[in-house]
Structure 1
């Protein structure tokens, strides 16, 4: 693995086509021993430009944690995004410490880091890469959740999408956490995973995220993308994502 190849891998990821403004609806299943324990529907709206992205994610009505909203502000190649969460039962938003970006989101096995638009932790902590299958294999090392050091091994595909990540404790052989994007489709010109799985083999836990619908558009006013107006933004995201009824591919 060498640094020049790593630069090419990062350039492929950051430079991939990303919709400037978009809305999507996703479904998430949480499983224990391959048995579904919980299902959620989630809406997300984002504004993206030049490696910056602001997004609001909201758990939709009829799901556990319905009404819970998350605001993320991120920048490509910056280790951690800014994050706020407004739980459905709370009176206001709560700032999420940046070092908690790998914490689980609304009871699933997905972390904040998994729903970022740009450069998840493996890529900001990468120490080398090599060509593989039209894309790149990337390797990194960092303190997982700012605690125990881990080795991460992943793959950036030919579209620049991070489609696989194995996390391995230092000194161990088998990964304790695995992420796989089972399929990448080009939707409205944007390469995006349509199915993502996270597995924690030691505990027997897993979660599956499926893209239900996605399109470009600017359905939520940018002035609502603030912590103070996150509840208003969540209402707008709920309406916008519910109106997207077809997967456009």
Structure 2
């Protein structure tokens, strides 16, 4: 296990419960009450400084994932009063599955495994940022739409590389270039989030974007950067 990776997943799951609770409408009383219970549950993992029971963590992440699945099913069938899109909820489910795989030590060793999850997540995050910006913040809207597009294009590239790797190679020049290009893109994205975080803290931009959400996305991008394989 990578140093601090388990700490990341504890914080990540906790922050997902916060985001879910904050975006559910009070009219969804039952779902909001349950989201608050998960918020309190995962907060204990953050506050407790003792050695964590990994089996309990796996149980609780799995339970939270099933709750997210129920919410998504309701959202796309009968409707759910929530500010999150179905795709965003789907990404929360995907990340819960990643947390389960990590905690269970069932990590995919493929050099493309992390890309096939995080590129779509960050594309969605960038799109969510631009959607929360006032239309007057045109330059920032354009910037984050551009990031959403770049991450999506890298994802398509990763899919094609995965097909090429069926020939049995796990390292070749085009894959190395892809890894390096992706690292540069993520570093640039993190730098933009650092700037956005400062603007949010100063309340200097017109938007409805919580500072908490910007910090959450930055933490995910930093984690993704840390798990991109080094090649060559």
TM-score interval (norm. to shorter):
under 0.3
Greater helix content: 2
Q: Which of the pair has more CA radius of gyration? A: 2
- TM-score, structure 2 normalization: 0.22
Q: Identify which of structures 1 and 2 has the higher relative contact order when contacts are C-alpha pairs closer than 8 Å and 6+ apart.
A: 1
Greater strand content: 1
